[in-house]
Structure 1
């Protein structure tokens, strides 16, 4: 057992690491150490060059995956603390939740999934676990990296989909672990109910939804892609409800209409935006109001069900009222329809998919040449074992760690 400070609500097993190690600075908690490791990781820094919604450098102040992760962490830390969760644990899960996102965001994720079919596919959440437990070198056992060697509870909290591909009947295409990472997954899930996320992971997931639904709309307004007046047009609203159905498939158009009406009826709702200082201040207030609205609703509903007291690990489930989830879905649909579905974006996404596919083919043909030392070693280990899937996984790992700009640069260098 590591030297560590006791943490109320968290058993010694929750604070264990895959490889035991003493703390160089006694007095810190196990979860403070985890937070520091993720904050100082190269994997987190890489997110500064990875698409959120607006492409990095498209304008002066876009949100990237890094700024989104920092904002998600702030939301999650405060919401988790309100329930008695360890705030460092929840913050770390939020900081880590997008580490596995490849170049070009979800578009790149889909392209890599196609390129990785022969080794079991690609999923950003499964890649996050792989980074935390293998690819971001901090500790070794023998000759094998164990990644950042985080605690069991932190890894569990960072696992949004705790199952393998196809194992969940309702979410067959979402999963949180690749087959060759099952040993550490089984270790971190010891004692956990099958397919059930711990409470801290549920807080992280809602903080993620809240942060990106609100901030993507804010970014879209700043960039001039969203016209608030359009949200009052019956024709535009009908189109918006069709998009929102992707985020809340069981909802009816009337429910989306009511959700949008509730938001637009608020005194702070931004009915116009021209980029002036006054409108920017009003928009920032609306952002704050929305985050508070969504978090307060979840806190109150959860407390009504479970009462007062500390809620951690598997003692409770987060309760988010349906009407609040639908308001969140409508905001996601606004960003989707007016930012991600812009005409020029489809041509850009098509080009990005080609870049990923051609880069994967080029690296697979050149390997181990063209791979960074970390991934060259993984490729050579798989090659020595005659493991075709392992060789391809090393190539996929390499591409997944690139930023948008470095993926384009490597593509230019390798593909003629």
Structure 2
């Protein structure tokens, strides 16, 4: 059984009262900590709202029950908060990083990103993690005093490095760090590490649910996998007459719990070995402190390989992927050649761009900010001769 909930923050947790601050200093809130304000700014951002209509695996119109980037982000945040509470970490910071981690995704998920990256190869490429950072620091235009969200150093560090140190940062991030060093070569806070693994837990388990719902594989297929199969069998043995949807849901909730418990046990073991006396010891540890055990990492890889082969490369998904790449690629070429058909503000910026690379980045920003349905409609309007503008 897990130990009781911590009664006070751990010494290695990020303390909002000791934040390194914001790039542009602001008066503090009398009712919210800096990390709570970061979380709230992310939730109220335009980019966050758009996640409701951005693909997780299936295009938004294929069914109301499939995950979108928004539902996925909320699930990641819930798991991150639960883990952080058990470890005595700052829940608000972990939640903020979790909610922000997918803001830079294009329409149509990884298919859209691959297409946009291909179109941008002569102009520095495209990466959704860098795009997330650009949204947080530049592209959100809502506040009177600054571009972006002016988040704290700790939240930006977590958003940038939640998957680990960055030895080769992309141009925008490298330029930003010349003015405000995010220490890209080191590990992030434990809160950011929690958000990264909460992403893995949510992604894999909920893709099982969506894949079964879509008929891309069966429970019998999953029975052959280590970790997953035994949990399905355990639920079946306890509830032999349970209908399929409840059987699947009960199994997935137990799988999430098994993975969370493994993460907590391994993380506590690593913390005991390290004996950190502050968050800087976490950053200087030389390896991740929040982690799965080796056996769980192996099981996770097996599950990822299964999902890659049976879901992400399923012929039905491949058909949608092909369409998505075509939509994004054709829109990019069209907007580069004919910026006069862009909305007024984007047209002004694209036509004023001093170099093709700058214009390409503006066009990429515009396309990356589209939802699935907006991209489909934009493509239909300009390529279908029977549709009026």
TM-score class, shorter-chain normalisation, is 0.7 to 0.9
Residues 371, 121 of structure 1: CA spacing in aligned structure 2 closer, same or farther, 3 A cutoff?
farther
Residues 343, 37 of structure 1: CA spacing in aligned structure 2 closer, same or farther, 3 A cutoff?
same
The more displaced of 344-353 and 304-313 is: 304-313
- 1:111 aligns with 115
Matches within 5 A, 1:362-377: 362-367=334-339, 369-371=341-343, 373=345, 375-376=346-347
User: Bigger relative contact order, structure 1 or 2, given CA contacts below 8 A and separation 6+?
Assistant: 2
- 2:67 aligns with 63
The answer on whether the counterparts of 1:16 and 1:152 sit within 8 Å (CA) in structure 2 is yes
State yes or no: 1:405 paired with 2:373.
yes
Residues 187, 155 of structure 1: CA spacing in aligned structure 2 closer, same or farther, 3 A cutoff?
farther
TM-score, length of structure 2 as denominator length: 0.84
- 2:23 aligns with 18
CA distance in 1, matches of 2:46, 2:297: 34
Residues 333, 413 of structure 1: CA spacing in aligned structure 2 closer, same or farther, 3 A cutoff?
same
- 1:256 aligns with none
CA distance in 2, matches of 1:263, 1:365: 50
Matches within 5 A, 1:43-122: 43-122=47-126
- 1:227 aligns with 218
CA distance in 1, matches of 2:111, 2:255: 27
The CA deviation at 1:121 is: 0.4
- 1:387 aligns with 355
Matches within 5 A, 1:9-408: 9-10=14-15, 14-23=19-28, 25-139=29-143, 145-159=146-160, 160=162, 167-168=167-168, 178-187=170-179, 189-190=181-182, 192=183, 194-231=185-222, 260-266=225-231, 278-307=243-272, 312=279, 314-315=281-282, 317-367=289-339, 369-371=341-343, 373=345, 375-376=346-347, 378-379=349-350, 383=353, 386-408=354-376
The CA deviation at 1:87 is: 0.5
The CA deviation at 1:400 is: 0.1
The answer for unaligned runs of 5 or more in structure 2 is: 1-10, 385-389
Count of aligned residue pairs for this structure pair = 362
CA distance in 2, matches of 1:30, 1:125: 23
The answer on whether the counterparts of 1:34 and 1:151 sit within 8 Å (CA) in structure 2 is yes
Spell out, residue by residue over 1:142-175, the C-alpha distance to the aligned partner (whole angstroms, 9 max, x if none).
Answer: xxx53011111011111135777xx45xxxxxxx
CA distance in 2, matches of 1:123, 1:269: 41
Residues 344, 288 of structure 1: CA spacing in aligned structure 2 closer, same or farther, 3 A cutoff?
closer
The CA deviation at 1:369 is: 3.9
CA distance in 2, matches of 1:33, 1:207: 22
The CA deviation at 1:376 is: 4.2
The answer for unaligned runs of 5 or more in structure 1 is: 1-6, 169-176, 238-259
Residues 229, 101 of structure 1: CA spacing in aligned structure 2 closer, same or farther, 3 A cutoff?
same
The more displaced of 311-320 and 337-346 is: 311-320
The more displaced of 325-334 and 47-56 is: 325-334
Residues 231, 12 of structure 1: CA spacing in aligned structure 2 closer, same or farther, 3 A cutoff?
closer
The answer on whether the counterparts of 2:54 and 2:371 sit within 8 Å (CA) in structure 1 is yes
